[in-house]
Chains A and B, each alone.
Chain A
Amino acid sequence: MLEILGTIGANIISLPGILGLALGMMTRRIWLGALMGGIVGILTTVIFAHGSFAAAGTFELLVAIVIGLCAGSVGSVIRIKGATV
């Protein structure tokens, strides 16, 4: 349980959460925001596994992608709600 919470929290205040949110705020298309966040999640996990997909844990990868997707979607919603352009 603690392992799961730690991984989720770490991803929220790491690249998938922060960069995912920022990229999501660049578009009004929620799917695009989520996609960009998800890609950040994949890249982050691979970068932290020293560039090797084999070394990246499935669970870590999955959590990073989900957090990236959520952050990207939230970013897009913020753009829709909070910008006139």
Chain B
Amino acid sequence: MADSPEKRGWIGRLWNWIWTPAVAFSSGFLILAGFLAGILFWGGFHWTLELTNTEEFCTSCHTMETNLGEYRETIHYNNHSGVRAICSDCHVPHEWNHKIKAKIMAVKDVYHELAGTISTPEKYEEHRLSMATAVWKKMKASDSRECRNCHNFDYMDFTLQEARAASEHQRAIDENMTCIDCHQGIAHSLPPGYQERYQEVTETLASKKQDRLQQQAAADGDDIKSFLSTRAD
């Protein structure tokens, strides 16, 4: 018989083993074993994920040398207090869902490293604006979520800031601006034409938001009309 255990391949036997009720182990044993295996798996998974957040990991690729050099010239690398923001602090969200999404999307970096998309200084400069645009878009859309992991308007003492910084930060609060609106190029050099491109990013995101609000308003209007017509009937 084709169905007999002897005739099955190893996949078939494994499948059968998975769905056969356990007779050799008690329920308590299985729960405890599953619990311990879960802790081991989750601990290992999280530990590995955190390893991919280290500066050594991020800069281990040849193509990251340019970014690293630029970042080392900034206050986020070297400053009076010794508190540093490494690559993942700005580029990897803290919240689980967003973090996993960022990690999955970062697979493209491996592809481009292998494909040599930005392997020479010339190629890097060629792509600098598009790479910067992608990051600005993300930051603008998320209201500079990663900046706000460390910087918070609520705890900024404007009296300790320079007059210009204090007045600009106050303006940012008043006009509902976000960090990246002013702080592009805080860790990497800015490409030529960045202001025009950032303007485009802002306008695109604003028009999308506007469209969504208009659609919502139109839908609400339809609901009100249908409610009123029902009442009139």
| Residues of A that sit less than 8 Å from B by CB | 2-3, 5-7, 9-11, 13-14, 44, 48, 81-82, 84
Contacts and interface: CB of A to CB of B under 8 A. Distances in A.
Contact of B105 (A6, A13, A44, A82): A6
Given A9-B100, A13-B100, 6 more contacts: A3-B105, A5-B105, A10-B100, A14-B97, A48-B95, A48-B98
Nearest to A83: B21
Interface of B: 18-19, 21, 95-102, 104-105, 107-108
A59 to B, nearest CB: 11
Contact of B102 (A6, A11, A14, A81): A6
Considering the complex of A and B, which 7 residue pairs feature the smallest CB-CB distances, nearest first?
A10-B100, A10-B101, A6-B101, A6-B104, A6-B105, A9-B104, A14-B97
Contact of A14 (B19, B21, B100): B100
Nearest to A9: B104
A10 B98 contact: yes
Nearest to B21: A84
A14 B108 CA distance: 21
Contact of B101 (A7, A81, A82, A84): A7
A10 B98 CA distance: 7
Contacts of A5: 104-105
Contacts of A7: 101
Given A9-B100, A10-B98, A14-B100, A2 B19 contact: no
